[in-house]
Amino acid sequence: MNNRLRVLRAERAWSQQELADRLDVSRQSVNAIETGKYDPSLPLAFRIADVFGLAIEEIFLRD
């Protein structure tokens, strides 16, 4: 399960902390997802999609 989180965040010039606040999770969680330590829960994946205004399939990719 690959994801384009880092790129999308860079496009908006957000820090991990800034994204974490918008998602209402810890900064470390954002970092862990970006570095591929684990996948987000489905509800969090939806919130991520909402924050970026994209579909889940446009952010998370089947590897």
Residues that bind its own copies (CB under 8 A): 1, 39-43, 45-46, 49, 55-57, 60, 62
Q: Residue 49 Cβ, how far from its own copies at the closest point, in Å?
A: 8
Name the token pair of 14: 């957000």
Q: How many CB atoms lie within 10 A of CB 6?
A: 14
Residue 22 C-beta: closest distance to DNA, Å: 12
Give dist(CA 5, CA 11) in Å, integer: 10
Binding site for DNA (CB under 7 A): 15-18, 24-29, 31-35, 38-44
Tell the smallest beta-carbon distance from residue 32 to its own copies (Å). 14
Tokens 């509800």 sit on residue: 43
User: Cα 8 to chain center, whole Å?
Assistant: 8
